[in-house]
């Protein structure tokens, strides 16, 4: 049985801090759990903290984009925070741009980005 990634709530934002190895089944479980939590808690935003993630493969990269797409369909914006330079380089080398996924350097900046978006104060 795979380990589940916890989904925590901070106001109207869900926080996912990935602290485990991202096996394919773990990512699929996270996708399902997160979609259910967005609806159940009427979340307006999702922050996925990948600070502890050292490597990604193409499946995990595509699933981050898929999670963001699902969240958008459920009226929640997704921000990925804490991406390491090696992870960013790997995603680019794999040809994965994570279209539609917003990023921020850390959790504080990610939450601020969601707050600005919610108030309509986001700048280009």
What pTM was estimated for this model as a whole? Answer: 0.88
Dump pLDDT digits (tens) for 86-114: 999 988 998 887 777 899 999 999 999 99
Dump pLDDT digits (tens) for 36-80: 999 999 999 999 999 998 888 888 888 888 999 999 999 999 999
CA distance 77 to 59: 21
Q: Which residues are registered as beta bridge partners of 45?
A: 13, 77
């Amino acid at each position: 049985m795979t380990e589940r990634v916890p989904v925590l709530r901070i106001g109207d934002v869900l926080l996912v801090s990935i602290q485990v190895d991202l096996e394919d089944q773990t990512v699929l479980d996270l996708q399902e759990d997160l979609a259910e939590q967005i609806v159940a808690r009427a979340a307006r935003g999702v922050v996925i903290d990948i600070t502890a993630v050292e490597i990604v493969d193409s499946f995990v990269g595509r699933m981050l984009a898929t999670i963001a797409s699902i969240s958008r369909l459920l009226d929640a914006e997704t921000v990925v925070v804490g991406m390491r330079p090696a992870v960013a380089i790997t995603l680019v080398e794999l040809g994965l741009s994570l279209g539609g996924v917003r990023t921020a350097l850390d959790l504080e900046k990610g939450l601020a980005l969601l707050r600005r978006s919610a108030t309509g104060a986001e700048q280009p």
